[in-house]
Structure formats: structure tokens, C-alpha cells
Amino acid sequence: MSQNFLSNYTFSNGLSVKNRVVMSPMTTMSSFYNGMVTSDEINYYGLRAGGPGIIITGVANVSENGKGFEGELSVTTDSMIPGLTALAKAIKKDGTKAILQIFHAGRKSTSKVLRGEQPVSASAISATYPADSEVPRELSHEEILQIITDFGEATRRAIEAGFDGVELHGANTYLLQQFFSENSNQRSDEWGGSQKKRLKFPLAVIDSVKQAVKKHSKNPFLIGYRLSPEEIETPGIRLENSLFFVDQIKEKVDYIHLSMGSYKRTSLNDKKNKATLISQFSTHTKGVVPLIGIGSVEHPDEAEEVLHDGADLIAIGRELIREPKWVQKVAIGDIASIRTKLSPLDMDELAIPSVMQVYLTESFNSVMHFTTDSANVQNYQDTLAPMEGFEKKI
């Protein structure tokens, strides 16, 4: 099969990438307690740099009350810039572009993580998953405006640190998604109510980020948006809602990035809809904005399937944990040496931070293809994955 995913790609703003492979954002849970970058993270990303055209970092919170879990990156203050600069430099080895994913966790946090402070959200409604989710405090109008400003300031810091773009994490039931979802946003003011009003917050965040790029960046700088196609709660986001959402933002961002565990996924809510989600989103994005397809891509032929289904770029996650040189090996035809299984004894050699090793073993054991658990195999074709908000992080 041809390997079109190794061809270069140029975004509409002029930024070119050497191939269409994107290392998907995956948390390492390895930042310092205050969100500063650690050497473990730099080594982890550095080993995987040079192959993919783009590497997207794990999430960095933009507000102090936006932290979702321990070991999370932060971009809340200028004191974070030196560490982020070192991280961007490590990623940009041999022409790989570096994207900083930014977010606010909203109700997907805890008072323990926030050092006694109650989590916040669009409305004072707890998340369905996990079952012991705390009831958040409803954000005031003034607080919403501050978070919008925080996203802009985070973008400025990413620019100053040398990143080539930011990705707004509007997926996995975090705050941007919480404002759009009828499940979590039941406000009656200008920030909630109708579908159009529930769009106001994410649109304002996009505008804040665009203004920061216009003011501070001298070079082409990407603004991406990641979204989850569906929620399984009722009420909640359905596929038609997400396609509407894409239509509203597709001319305001530089790419759309789906979040799902399998590129073969069809609708989780409408079982009569047999078309893949990637193909359905591509009918709305094709010729307007590039679409990043994702989900359990391990082999070169699977990457080609994602492009054939309508995506413009392919995000690869767990496979790049197992095989940091995946792109380089595919490029020289050394397919036989690609590591598709992971021995727990090799994780240090692969520069996987120790805390991340525990995370992979406990939360992703059934899909990491550990050599010690070969019989315990799962895929995410017909269900939400843990990173999509279905299970509690360790």
C-alpha cells in the first residue's frame, strides 16, 4: 500500500509539516507539583521527536482552578516559559513542529487536586463519570471572562516559548465541552440555554486565542481544536450537535482534531448510522479545514485507511509510546522491526516517565499490548476510552 501519510502538508496559514503523522496528545502525569516541566518529560518527548510532522503535548492548564490532575503541565504564569521553551526545543528536533495543548478541566477536577478549592463549571451539575464526581460551582460572568483571557495569555506564553501552535482541548468532557453540552450547561443567561448560546464560550476562547496570535506571533502559528464526537449521557452531545459545532468553527481554526479510541468508530448513540465518524466529519471539513483522524492506528496500512476515509492528517498515540521511531522505520521500509507490543521491562529504555508507567499499567493495560498480558486485549471501536472521560484517572 502507498504511504501518502509520509508526504508533506501545508496549512492555509503557510506553516508546512514534513509529513502527515501527528503524535497525539497524551498525558505523562510527570510535571512538577506546580505544573513546571520536568527533565523526564523533555526526555520522553525528545526520544519521539524527529519522526512525526507534529507532536502535540499533553494538556497544560490555563487557569489555576483549571488543573484536572496531578502531574499536569501548566501555562498559567510567565514563570512556566523557561521550562516550556526547553520542551518546545526538544520536540522541534529535525523539523518536527511543536503544538502545546491547552485547556481548563472544569468539573473534571476535584477539590483535592485544587488544594481545597471547589471545581467550577458552566453549571452546578456533577459529571456522570466517575460516580463520585463532585458538584462544581457555577462560574460567574466575570470568571468566565477571566478564563477567556487566560486562554489568550496561555497562547502568548506558548508563542514566547517557541511553539508552532496551540490546540484547544474542547474534548473529553473538559470545560470547553462542558459549556457546549446540554448535560453540563443548563444556564439561563447569555452563556447557556440554546445550542447557539452554548457555543458562545468556545467561540470567545477561539477569538481570544486568535487575537493573541495576531498580536504576538511573527511566524505562522496554528490554532487547532479538539472535540469529542458524542457524549453517552442524556441529555448530552450527539453527532449532529458536533457536526453543527464544526460548521461554526471550521473557518476560525487551522485544524479540527477528533478524540476517540478507534478510527473505525461509528456512532455510539445511533446504531443505524453505520458510516465511520471520520468520514462524516470529513464531509463538513473537506476543502475548508484539515481534519486529524485518530484511534488505534498501529500499522502503516491503517494510517492510509484513515486518509482514505477523509482525514488529512493521522494522529498516532499509543503506538508511538511503544515505538518512538515508528515514522523513521516506516520511511526506510523497516516494518519488521516496529515494536507493536510493549514489555514492562522496556519502559525505562523508552524514556517513559515512572509515573506514566503506572498510569499505562493501571488505566490502559488492556490496550497497550503489554507482552505480559497478551490475552487481555480490548479496542475502543464501540465504547468510550478512559481518556474520553469515561473513567477516572489514577
Q: Return the active site residues.
A: 174
3-state SS of the chain?
CCCHHHCCEECCCCCEECCCEEECCCCCCCCCCCCCCCHHHHHHHHHHCCCCCEEECCCEECCHHHCCCCCCEECCCHHHHHHHHHHHHHHCHHHCEEEEEEECCCCCCCCCCCCCCCCEECCCCCCCCCCCCCCCEECCHHHHHHHHHHHHHHHHHHHHHCCCEEEEEECCCCHHHHHHCCCCCCCCCCCCCCHHHHCHHHHHHHHHHHHHHHHHCCCCCEEEEEECCCCCCCCCCCHHHHHHHHHHHCCCCCEEEECCCCCCCCCCCCCCCCCCHHHHHHHHHCCCCCEEEECCCCCHHHHHHHHHCCCCEEEECHHHHHCCCHHHHHHCCCHHHCCCCECHHHCCCCCCCHHHHHHHHHHCCCCCCEHHHCCCCCCCCCCCCHHHCCCCCC
Which one, of 139, 141, 146, 108, lies nearest residue 123 by Cα? 139
Give the integer Cα–Cα distance in Å for 301 and 130.
36
Give the integer Cα–Cα distance in Å for 321 and 304.
20
